[in-house]
Amino acid sequence: MIFSRLFFIYLFLPVCLLTYAAARGIKQKNTVLIIFSLIFYAWGEPVYILLMLLSAFVNYGAGLCIEKFRGQKGDTIATASAVVFDFLMLGVFKYSGFIAENINALFSCSLPVPDIKLPIGISFYTFQTVSYVIDCHWEKVASQKSFPKYLLYLSLFPQLVAGPIVRYSTIEKEIDDRTITVSDVSYGLNRLALGLAKKVIIANQLSLIVDNTLGNIATSTTLGAWYGAAAYGLQIYFDFSGYSDIAIGLGRVFGFHFDENFRHPFICKDITEFWQRWHISLSTFFRDYLLYVPIFGKRRKYGGLFLVWLCTGIWHGASWNFIIWGLYYGLFVFLEMQIGKKRMKKIPVVIRHIYSKIVIIVGFGIFYFEDLSQLGRFFRTIVGVNVPGLIGIQDKISLTNNMYLLILAVICTFPVIDGAKKLAERNFAAKSAISSAAAICSAILLVITSIMLVDATTNPFLYFRF
């Protein structure tokens, strides 16, 4: 099921909210959420719900074993077994075809290439199970004794299929005890409306620009390729951050406080800062669980860094362009580490902004092209090699026709709402006015979004496939 569908907005969600409100006590409310979460997941892939339940059972059992054999060999065995199981499941469903194709190409073999449909959300909930087991092993959290409560953590539908990656420690206490205020519901619904607007009003419209530019890279001009890559970056941002807004908003409506996943990444001044603001739940996962893993018996600063970025690329997809994309960003983070924070700050801010935006735009171009020949064409085009020209008539028409959309998208990358909140905190009268304005704007956005969704044929969130 997809958030940006009228069925979800006007049927599934209202029925869920009414049932949840009617439930008495935390046990009944948790049961309601589990049932609706399983229905939500099974709606598109009823078979793969068994895979998620298996994952939940294995990792729940591992947590109990870790608790029982704390400090003993059984603790380590349970942890290692669960982590191996999790990554093996992810590897089979996500990477087996890619591995077979490359073995065939490298060794001239004829291995059968599996054509396995990727279960929705497996990359996200696998990382949640891994973080839970490791945190149990590190004694950061206590093992959950109740399987239904653990299943609720893993299957909670607001964040189930495309994140953010919610750690057990974040909602551990709220599984057993949570309160919902009018302020929480208001905030959650406003955030839901904002996320839907990001997706439907901005991201879906930007996708048309991307299809007409990067989708026709063979005939693209130099500025057309830059324009398309920049539009794709904005599309990904509004699509994914929109989903995160909806997830965080829905979580708040049900009494859960998920961590932020995006903090206005395009206002960054360097690549290190960009990744402190972009897909925060993923970058912090690799930082906390992989960066300091011993390599050849020792913790190696730079070895760990490139291992993190290699895995970041691999996590996004079974294709060489994602591996290149991950190492590409790892290289720039490495270079910035060599320069040092103090010397980076001495570089004029304008230069730093230009540098970071060029790197980011090229990065999104790498991210887009899974076909390496097309990716090579993109690289040649952005530097002006064998292209029809600097800019074409179609590029000018597209820029003119989409000017207001592009201006809106750029403005919305800035912390405009955060600025309004800070103003409200200083002035009670302003707080009341801003709260009322937020409710009115949310209602308007929901109406506009609903109208636009009436004729929409397909609009899946992009990160579903990662």
Catalytic residues: 316
Give percent helix, percent strand, percent coil of the chain, each to the nearest 5. 75, 0, 25
**What is d(CA 155, CA 63) in angstroms, rounded to the nearest whole number?**
17
**What is d(CA 146, CA 137) in angstroms, rounded to the nearest whole number?**
18
Residue 384 CB partners (closer than 8 Å, separation 6+): 222, 390
Question: Please, which residues bridge with residue 298 across strands?
Answer: 295
Residue 389, sorted as left (phi over 0), alpha (psi -120 to 50) or beta, turns out to be left
The token pair that represents 94 in the structure block: 């996500």
* Cα–Cα distance list, 79 to 68, 69, 193, 291 (Å): 12, 11, 40, 18
CB 246 within 8 A of CB 195: yes
**What is d(CA 79, CA 133) in angstroms, rounded to the nearest whole number?**
6
A 10 A CB-CB count for 304 gives 18
- Helix H segments across 291-387? 301-316, 320-339, 341-346, 349-368, 372-382
Report the SS3 class of residue 298.
strand
Q: Which residue has the tokens 């029809």?
A: 388
The token pair that represents 314 in the structure block: 């691999």
DSSP string, 160-182: TTT-----HHHHHHHHH-----H
Query: What's the one-letter identity of residue 373?
Result: S
A 10 A CB-CB count for 406 gives 19
Q: Which residue has the tokens 């539908």?
A: 157
**What is d(CA 68, CA 74) in angstroms, rounded to the nearest whole number?**
8
Phi first, then psi: give them for residue 264, nearest 5 degrees: 50, 65
Phi first, then psi: give them for residue 295, nearest 5 degrees: -115, 120
Query: What's the one-letter identity of residue 308?
Result: V
